[in-house]
Structure 1
Amino acid sequence: MPISAHLTQFLASVHPYDSLTDAELIALANRCEVQSNVTGDRIFGIGDTADSLYIIADGAIEITDDTDVQLSLLGPRNSFGERALLRDETATRTATVTENCTLIVMPAATLFDLIKTHPPVAKFFDRRRPQREDRNDLATMAVDQLMTRNPISCSPDTPIRTVAGQMHERRISSICITDADAFEGIVTLRDMNSRVVVQGADPLAPVSSIMTPSPLSLSPKALVTDVLHLMVERGIGHIPIVEGQTLLGIVTQTDLTRAQAMSSADLVGRVAKAQDATEMARATSEIPQLLVQLVDAGNRHEVVTRLITDIADTATRRLLALAEAALGAPPVPYLWLACGSQGRQEQTGVSDQDNCLILSDDVTEADMPYFAQLAKFVSDGLDVCGYFYCPGDMMATNPRWCQPLKVWRGYFEGWIAKPDPEAQMLASVMFDLRPIGGDDSLFVNLQTQTLKRASKNSIFTAHMISNSLKHQPPIGLLRGLATIRSGEHRNQLDLKHNGVVPVVDLGRIYTLQGQLKSVNTRARLEAAIAARVLSGTGGADLLAAYDLIATTRLDHQSQQIKAGVKPTNYLDPSNLSDFERSHLRDAFVVVKTMQSAAGSGKGVLG
């Protein structure tokens, strides 16, 4: 087979060129060159003119930054060189052959022609923040996003009285009848009234005697529109969702009403009026479904996490009010603060609680039991609501984190003066503090003075930078992504600790260097660019990378919730398309580059 035929065949297996027709692939192959290189060859270096895109046919290429830190080790079907090419600037990285390789060299003009004429190619090389399609239309939503999964069911021979008791106890309006996991029928409150109360059916008879056999049902891929039409046309209020003979879920008029009314404002309102933690938990239990709806509506990741965090804030303030009602007025002013993801307003479908109490310096030892009870009341209530206890005991229930303002000042002064590993960790957590309820004045001066003192201590800043580099993006050989090697999450990516957290850590460093008061990570990056702590180019890259990683994480959690699985931060990259993997790898490379810049001591504007 001639070289051009081999080249055409190879390009057809590489995304995005696999979208081209046979004739277009042949034309592309004729405009490219095949280049052979041996180990040690430098393809291009920092400052070189960018004039080509390189696609690896075989072998390996190492990409390093200006401090010789490895950013990527690329194998077959990966490309490189597009960064400088698309920006029309000289190279800012070095590409070196680490294993004898064959490269396909695509001239810049050829790439630009493809980008202009082929949308899939243009999309592949577009690193701008994607505009997400607005899909916030309940009627066109798939049924499996709305249905109640694993509905209550019973066997056909269950006595009618037993079924009626279950419906009353669980406050539900129907029960599905299954036999050996096969869906048989349904019994509703209407059936109970008409066939038992009115017609006098024996309460001890099997429920199969009053059920509606083989009722109208829909598949999980049906649209909510189908449910609405069926309910209106047939005058029914319950639609079982069945696949084959297996009952997967049920959609009721109540589900439709709840979905139409569900919003973060609705949940906030219900939480704010709750009389106890149990009532509050009924509202917060709907947060996963809210996350799905917000993601499917095309909302940006920082909007989704902000709205979800608002619910946690409201729950905290309501619990504080209930605690004061139960314990009496506080003896001195206090301030409840959140740290961690709640402090940064970045909560997702997986959230623990990280909080603390700052007390007025007028507090006495005799007052401390009150605040211990207040902290327990609120933390226990948050746990009931699904915000589980912090594994590291970073909570106001820990006496260490329930202290007068003067003690907190001493904490920060000590961490800054002697930045040992524990101090670095604690300072990192506490730089994300955000007031939730109480007297805000207890925090304003503390935050300002701490940032000023910390930014002036070069040793502390250096230690914080070093600490921020402990979480590394998962860049490796296989398609450029390094997965977890063993354990429960083997072959998966940790989108929290190796994805989002490295950017969170960088944002905290920029905040410290610029004495910026923002706490939210994206707001920190934007503020750092505005304050010229972070270069416009580097900042734009990092924002785009963060957006992609955070959005991928939320999309993943949304898909898990739809599948009836508890959301996690662990993603199997094999579930992503080549396009998604490539872009995610590029995002991780950007983060790695910015980490290298922060750790080199050259600064982020250099």
Structure 2
Amino acid sequence: MTELDRDTRILRFLEHVHPYDSLKREVLTRIASVFIERTVHPGVMIYTAGDLLEGLYLIEHGTVEITDEKGAPVSILHGRNSFGERGLTRDGLAVTHAKATEETRLLMLPADEFHDILQSSKSFARFFDRTRSPGREQRGDLTTQRVADLMARNPISISPETSIQMAAGMMRDTHVSCLAVTHPEHVLAGIVTLRDMTTKAVAGGLGGETPVSQIMTSEPVSLAPSALGSDLLHVMLERKIGHVPVTEGNRLVGVLTQTDLIRFQAISSASMVQEIAEAYTAEEMAKVTVRLPKLLMQLVGAGNRHEVVTRLITDIADSVTRRLLALAEGELGAPPVPYLWLACGSQGRQEQTGVSDQDNCMILDDAVTEADMPYFCALAKFVCDGLDTCGYFYCPGDMMATAERWCQPLKVWKRYFAGWIDKPDPEAQMLASVMFDLRPIGGTHALFDNLQDETLAAARKNTIFVGHMIVNSLKHTPPLGLFRGFATVRSGEHKNELDMKMNGVVPVVDLGRVYALQGGITEVNTRARLEAAEALGTISHSGAHDLLDAYDLIAETRLKRQADEIRAGRKPDNYMPPSDLSDLERSHLRDAFVVVRTMQSAVGQGKGMLS
């Protein structure tokens, strides 16, 4: 392989790995050439604690086991995962051991390059900030997870009088390796496992009618839901057991098994992306995306920031889309002319949560002919149908590439944007709001570059259009009521609840879009827009910090609510009863809404900043 081929391969790989994909194209192209490649065989140490680290490692393919100084497991990393940053951001010395557990291909970014990028890229630095901030290290690893986020809820339980034969039949029919034995009111009496069935019942020659109380482990060691994964690992290793009940007081609330731990390690955005990349049908991908709620709950439970959680969730949607495009081309043949698939809405902004429909469109090369259109119609249908199969339901407003309006040549898209800017009627404002959040996903990215630059330049110059966009951004207001209360939904299924989307995050999203227009900012992510607006002086430093803090609190409260719903076995939504919050939480949330309303007032009055 030539050096050019090597650099191109690495560049294409980095384009789909966060946070490298947030870097400017020229930076990404440059660092692709400085990465050092290394192949590590199974069982070989990459480094040990105390070693001087030469750079930041990125797994191209393979598996790496990270353990602490005492050899205790910390995490299992797969393709697209980075490691070694904790040492680099401290004194340059490794604080863990790293060992390849299978044939692994590594890319290493030299330490000096890593530090240069940290200084020049806020998004890159923010991604690795979790390793520099006290108390925020290794947030995704098993040892720091709460037991409540790991355990299987609603465990199958039986009474002490249940016969061994009946218990064995239940284990066979429900495919479980243990049963909890309880007294009335779910009071834990013991636990019976498959091992008990073989070593005590069968080997002991006990009859099938013998009660399970004769073979169960009475008063087994248990953990509270607030215990950590490290507590669980220590109990299992020290006592050589594979099943641990979870209790509140003496009442059973869950059970943890070694299978749960394996499942936890398997649920990561990187492993899901890898599985999607290897899938050959939408149905196969759906078996991966069905784990998204669990991933969201896991990420939130680990204390990750909201922009990290939504970014990783969105990465899955991006991967599904790109894989569907590849499968479509495999079935339909090569496209007759270049095209670009783009996401808009929350996927475009990389802000997807546990509740997402699909919003997408296609830009076609101007060389496209009428004879070519059936190909792109079929391509759009293949991908949109596949996204729906994977849980990204069809857009109620038909904002999809399957609609003729949203699958057009570049010259038509230019007319669209020019028309919306010149005549900003209500529909134009709505469409512009959606389309200003466009982000390329797959295809020829060059089709979008000039369109975005030209549109932003034209929009900034048209003060009438900007004024209309400002008015449009004020339609969604924070849910503030009288006497320091909240304005909740007045009727329907969610009466007396807060809409944490339309009255929570959307007002900030709208503000971020206005600041992007005013400053000519190409970022589409809301938090990135606010940071860029501060850097440009579009918002004052104090105003930006207040708004960022407010946004973080609102977005994280919304995500925590969704995670709680998933944990309780319910489908997540965007609504939350204020009564679910403590007095302190309500006070902080209300203060955050006040900040957003103040910023809306400033923008509405043409001030644009909060001093």
TM-score (norm 1): 0.69
Q: Per-residue deviation at 1:533?
A: 2.2
- Give distance in 1, aligned partners of 2:191 and 2:180: 4
Contact 1:320–1:374 (Cα < 8 Å) also in 2:
yes
Unmatched segments (≥5 aa) in structure 1: 1-130
Question: Which structure 2 segments of 5+ residues have no match?
Answer: 1-132
Which residue among 517, 523, 529 is the counterpart of 1:524? 529
- In the alignment, the residues of structure 2 paired with residue 353 and residue 418 of structure 1 have an alpha-carbon distance, to the nearest angstrom, of 27
Alpha-carbon separation, structure 2, partners of 1:350 and 1:589: 26
1:577 alignment partner AA: S
Query: Contact 2:292/2:313 (CA < 8 Å) preserved in 1?
Result: yes
**Which residues of 2 match residues 182-261 of structure 1 at below 5 A?**
213=216, 216=220, 218=222, 220-221=224-225, 223=227, 224-241=229-246, 248-260=253-265
CA distance in 1, matches of 2:388, 2:412: 27
Partner Cα distance (2:214, 2:276) in 1: 38
**Post-superposition offset of 1:253:** 1.0
In the TM superposition, 1:134-149 aligns within 5 A as 134=136, 136=139, 138-139=142-143, 141-149=145-153
Residue type at the aligned position of 1:405: L
Q: Which has the higher contact order (CA 8 A, sep 6+)?
A: 1
Is 2:460 the partner of 1:458? no
Aligned counterpart in structure 1 of residue 547 of structure 2, from 537, 542, 549: 542
1:378 aligned partner: 383
- In structure 2, the partner of 1:309 is 314
Question: Post-superposition shift, 1:188?
Answer: 5.7
Cα displacement (A) at 1:559: 2.9
Distance 1:530 1:252, change over 3 A: same
Aligned mates of 1:193, 1:326 — CA distance in 2: 52
Matched, 1:333 2:335: no
Q: 1:164 to 1:495 in 2, by over 3 A?
A: closer
Q: What is residue 422 of structure 1 aligned with on the other side? A: 427
Distance 1:249 1:372, change over 3 A: farther
Q: Is the 8 A contact 2:147 2:224 kept in 1?
A: yes
Residue 390 of structure 1 corresponds to 395
Q: 1:396 to 1:246 in 2, by over 3 A?
A: farther
Q: Distance in 1 between matches of 2:205 and 2:363?
A: 65
**Could you say if the C-alpha distance between residues 479 and 442 of structure 1 is closer, same or farther in structure 2, counting changes exceeding 3 Å?**
same
1:16 maps to which residue? none
For residues 134 and 433 of structure 2, what CA distance do their matches in structure 1 show? 33
Q: 2:414 aligns with which of 409, 417, 420?
A: 409
Structure 1 CA distance for aligned equivalents of residues 205 and 447 of structure 2: 68
CA distance in 2, matches of 1:179, 1:275: 49
How many residue pairs are counted as aligned between the two chains?
A: 471
Which of residues 277, 281, 286 is equivalent to 1:281?
286
After TM superposition, give the deviation of residue 329 of structure 1 in Å. Answer: 2.0
1:284-363 alignment runs, 5 A limit: 284-363=289-368
- What corresponds to 1:266 in structure 2? 271
- Cα separation, 2, equivalents of 1:477 and 1:333: 56
The residue that corresponds to 2:572 in the other structure is: 567
CA contact (8 A) 2:322 2:441 kept: yes
**Alpha-carbon distance, 1:497 to partner:** 0.8
Summarize the Cα distance change of 1:176–1:466 in structure 2 as closer, same or farther, 3 Å threshold. same
Summarize the Cα distance change of 1:590–1:140 in structure 2 as closer, same or farther, 3 Å threshold.
closer
Deviation for aligned residue 1:258: 3.0
Q: What letter is aligned with 2:366?
A: D
Q: Which moved more, 1:547-556 or 1:278-287?
A: 278-287
Aligned equivalents of 1:462 and 1:290: distance in 2? 41
What is the letter of the counterpart of residue 136 of structure 2?
Answer: D
Quote the offset at 1:272 in angstroms.
2.2
Any conservation in 1 of the 2:478–2:503 contact (CA below 8 Å)?
yes
Change (3 A) 1:191 1:285: farther
Aligned with 1:428: secondary structure?
helix
CA spacing shift, 1:240–1:319, aligned 2, 3 Å: farther
The correspondence of residues 75-154 of structure 1 with structure 2, limited to 5 A, is 133-134=135-136, 136=139, 138-139=142-143, 141-151=145-155
For 2:182 and 2:168, locate their aligned partners in 1 and report how far apart those are by CA, in whole Å.
Answer: 17
CA distance in 2, matches of 1:468, 1:487: 25
Rg comparison, structure with higher value: 1
1-side partners of 2:264 and 2:583: how far apart?
34
Q: Using the TM superposition, give the Cα deviation of residue 246 of structure 1 relative to its aligned residue in structure 2, in angstroms.
A: 7.0
Alignment counterpart, residue 474 of structure 1, candidates 479, 488, 492: 479
Q: Which amino acid in structure 2 is aligned with residue 147 of structure 1? A: M
User: Displacement of 1:529 after TM fit?
Assistant: 1.9
Measured in 2, the distance between the counterparts of 1:226 and 1:602 equals 53
Q: 1:345 to 1:132 in 2, by over 3 A?
A: farther
SS at structure 2 position matched to 1:335: strand
Q: Which deviates further from its counterpart, 494-503 or 406-415?
A: 406-415
Q: What is the one-letter code of the residue matched to 2:523?
A: S
Identical aligned pairs, as a percentage? 64
TM-score, reference length from structure 2: 0.68
CA 1:465–1:138: 2 relative to 1, 3 Å: same
Q: Distance in 2 between matches of 1:275 and 1:347?
A: 24
Deviation at 1:471, TM superposition (A): 0.1
Cα displacement (A) at 1:160: 8.3
Looking at structure 1, the residues matched to 210 and 456 of structure 2 have their Cα atoms a distance apart, in angstroms, of 68
SS at match of 1:479: coil
Distance 1:164 1:547 in 2: 45
In structure 1, distance between residues paired with 2:488 and 2:190: 46
CA contact (8 A) 1:217 1:242 kept: no
Deviation at 1:603, TM superposition (A): 4.2
CA drift at 1:357: 1.4
Partner of 1:578: 583
Instruction: Report the Cα offset of residue 146 of structure 1.
Output: 0.2
Distance 1:600 1:180 in 2: 64
**Amino acid in the other structure paired with 1:418:** K
Which whole-Å CA distance do the structure 2 matches of 1:517 and 1:450 have between them?
10
Distance 1:238 1:328, change over 3 A: farther
What value does the CA root-mean-square deviation take over the aligned residues? 3.5
Distance 1:178 1:445, change over 3 A: farther
Report the Cα offset of residue 247 of structure 1: 5.9
How far the C-alpha of 1:180 sits from its partner, in A, is 9.5
Aligned mates of 1:139, 1:502 — CA distance in 2: 37
| Alignment check: 8 A CA contact 1:396 1:402 kept | yes
- Of the candidates 504, 521, 527, which is equivalent to residue 499 of structure 1? 504
Distance 1:166 1:406, change over 3 A: farther
Partner of 1:119: none
Per the TM alignment, residue 466 of structure 1 is displaced from its structure 2 partner at its CA by 0.9
CA distance in 2, matches of 1:407, 1:567: 38
> What SS does the corresponding residue of 2:420 show, helix, strand or coil?
helix
Judge conservation of contact 1:133–1:297 (CA < 8 Å) in 2. no
